[in-house]
Structure 1
Amino acid sequence: MELQGMPTEEMPIFGSTLKLMKFWSYLFVHNWRRYVAMIPYLLINVTQYVDIYLSTESLDFTIRNVYLTVLFTNTLVRGILLSLYRGHYEQFLELLKGYYLQLLNSTDKHIQELLAEATRLSHSIGRINLLMGTCTCIGFVTYPIFGSERVLPYGMHVPVIDKYASPYYEIFFVVQAIMAPMGCCMYIPYTNLVVTCTLFAILMCRVLQHKLRNLQLLPVSRVRQEIIWCIRYQVKLAGLVDAMNGLNTNLHLVELLCFGAMLCVLLFSLIIAQTIAQTIIVIGYMVMIFANSVVLYYVANELYFQSLYISIAAYESNWMDFDVETQKTLKFLIMRSQKPLAILVGGVYPMNLKMLQSLLNVIYSFFTLLRRIYG
């Protein structure tokens, strides 16, 4: 199947992710759409910080406003980085497209199955994330309806006029309701992009494992050439992961801090929620934020171990039947595989489930402290 002329955003493994980014002009095109979403979001985010500083509202709404402010900041950072480094992201996606087409045109049935499996998983995760984002947007709008006081979906400071007086309240409510899905289009597709790229790196690891485990099926004269191909493919894989870290590692650090702050605030909001409906909505927020982060950390954790399994696959290839030169070449590949590939946070710490567990322990400690102070 030759699809060399296929546009990058049409790669099946990405589903609708890149198409959404293209529509909002974060990638592939440069027009007014990104500013329609980002400039109002930036203005609202500034007013959110001012509103928190000047807030005289009840504690439950202040806590919720802190959560939404951090979430908006995180969303804005994603959109701004995509816009600033658009060229770097597009170059990276072109590189990934070349590797994708190479696997797509493979005649090996097992590789085709691995690619189809990775595509299905990417589509499923993307749809689930979009569904959770939609539910969260609905939660933004409906939460104030169940409150005991008149409040907006998310806090904002409006000088001079009373934002809770009609008709200003209704106007601001409608504007904020419209802005919620725009923010979702900045937040969720970026997560799906990172997850899909990580899934593709995992796919490349599994392709390498498959090639190495089947070395004994090749003619003796071809074994060493196949191992050399695997070494070169391993270099490409390491380069792909390095490129991913170069684009996203600092953002991963920011999001680690944001995730900790948001989850801690939501746990506290869960305690002080005034009605059952508010409790349900807060739980929905927690599920969305937690699931979003767990998926990222899970696939990064899987990449870490799948890269280590390459050396195990090489060892299981009946290497003792090869000639000395071929054994030396295979040993070189095994040595390279001893250093696992990792998605880094802040360019230092590997993103994995152990790190997520440590973060959750810290969050629970801060939550306990808040509960003792304000309980």
Structure 2
Amino acid sequence: MFPPICFVLLNAHLKILSQQLLRVGAGDREPHTELNLATIVERHNIILKIYKILDETLSRTFFVELLVASIQLCVLTVSIISRDMELSELMFAAGYTCTLTLQLLPICFFADQFQSFSEQLADAAYATNWPDQDRSFRFAILFIIHRSQKCRFIFVGGLVPINLPTFLGIVRCAYTFSAIYSMVY
């Protein structure tokens, strides 16, 4: 459960930064605006560094988890459909299928949400009163916008991005294989 918790924390920090950005550029040229903006830029860099660490560790480990869980989902779905099972076996298989699904869903959901919050941070930076500010303020805002839009998905094994469409693809794949198996046998 480590990666979903990290994504929840990163998402919360991005949301807080978006709210702070909207407040920073709201007024006219205030003396503490530059200090607040520098703090926001530093915090955004820290968030992106943590995200990079997650990318390096999660891309390898989640690949194995994704592969094993998708195979297990397929096998469980096939066994539920094709075998005559007692009620206790059926309940166990259905519960285990739900557990596997809930194992993958939080990581995919919160990684997808991170991308959305990153885009919202870029929108919040653009919504500040940056045209009326001085050059260093505009440069910092453009830096935040650029870094927020540059944020990329974490790819599992360098192949598949971690997001909600990937989760739905896994569930769809398990269902398709089980449907094909039930038609053949």
Q: TM above 0.5, one fold?
A: yes
> Matched residues in 2 for 1:347 and 1:232: separation?
29
Structure 1 position 302, deviation (Å)? 0.9
The answer to whether structure 1 residue 241 and structure 2 residue 48 are counterparts is no
> Matched residues in 2 for 1:255 and 1:298: separation?
16
> Matched residues in 2 for 1:289 and 1:242: separation?
26
The answer to whether structure 1 residue 200 and structure 2 residue 9 are counterparts is yes
Amino acid at match of 1:370: Y
> How many residues are matched?
183
Secondary structure at 2:128's aligned position in 1?
Answer: coil
Secondary structure at 1:274's aligned position in 2?
Answer: coil
Q: 2:22 aligns with which of 198, 209, 213?
A: 213
Identify if the C-alpha distance between structure 1 residues 312 and 200 changes in structure 2 by more than 3 Å, giving closer, same or farther.
Answer: same
Q: 1:328 aligns with which of 139, 154, 160?
A: 139
Q: 2:173 aligns with which of 346, 362, 367?
A: 362
Q: 1:314 aligns with which of 125, 145, 154?
A: 125
Question: In 1, are the aligned partners of 2:29 and 2:133 still within 8 Å (CA)?
Answer: no
> Matched residues in 2 for 1:365 and 1:269: separation?
14
> Matched residues in 1 for 2:28 and 2:156: separation?
41
> Match for residue 89 of structure 2?
278
> Matched residues in 2 for 1:347 and 1:225: separation?
39
> Matched residues in 2 for 1:348 and 1:337: separation?
22
Gaps of 5+ in 1: 1-191
**Pairing of 1:145-156 with structure 2 (within 5 A):** none
Q: 1 or 2 for the larger relative contact order (CA 8 Å, sep ≥6)?
A: 2
TM-score, length-normalised on structure 1?
A: 0.46
**What root-mean-square deviation, in Å, do the aligned CA atoms of Structure 1 and Structure 2 show?**
1.9
Secondary structure at 2:150's aligned position in 1?
Answer: coil
Structure 1 position 241, deviation (Å)? 0.9
Structure 1 position 348, deviation (Å)? 4.7
Question: In 2, are the aligned partners of 1:307 and 1:337 still within 8 Å (CA)?
Answer: yes
> Matched residues in 2 for 1:359 and 1:246: separation?
22
- Percent identity (aligned): 22
> Matched residues in 2 for 1:348 and 1:373: separation?
30
> Match for residue 232 of structure 1?
42
> Matched residues in 2 for 1:341 and 1:240: separation?
13
Structure 1 position 372, deviation (Å)? 1.9
Q: 2:76 aligns with which of 266, 270, 278?
A: 266
Gaps of 5+ in 2: none
**Pairing of 1:25-104 with structure 2 (within 5 A):** none
Amino acid at match of 2:20: K
Secondary structure at 1:214's aligned position in 2?
Answer: helix
Question: In 2, are the aligned partners of 1:209 and 1:314 still within 8 Å (CA)?
Answer: yes
Question: In 1, are the aligned partners of 2:111 and 2:162 still within 8 Å (CA)?
Answer: yes
CA shift digits 1:238-297 (9 cap, x unpaired): 110111122221111111111110111111111214222322221111111111211121
Structure 1 position 314, deviation (Å)? 0.8
Question: In 2, are the aligned partners of 1:241 and 1:341 still within 8 Å (CA)?
Answer: no
Amino acid at match of 1:351: I
Greater mean deviation of Cα atoms: 293-302 or 228-237: 228-237
> Matched residues in 2 for 1:372 and 1:217: separation?
66
Question: In 2, are the aligned partners of 1:250 and 1:346 still within 8 Å (CA)?
Answer: yes
Amino acid at match of 1:206: K
CA shift digits 1:202-247 (9 cap, x unpaired): 1221121122011025862222332222222211111101111222
> Matched residues in 1 for 2:90 and 2:131: separation?
62
> Matched residues in 1 for 2:12 and 2:173: separation?
33
Identify if the C-alpha distance between structure 1 residues 341 and 210 changes in structure 2 by more than 3 Å, giving closer, same or farther.
Answer: farther
> Matched residues in 1 for 2:161 and 2:36: separation?
31
Secondary structure at 1:317's aligned position in 2?
Answer: coil
Identify if the C-alpha distance between structure 1 residues 195 and 358 changes in structure 2 by more than 3 Å, giving closer, same or farther.
Answer: same
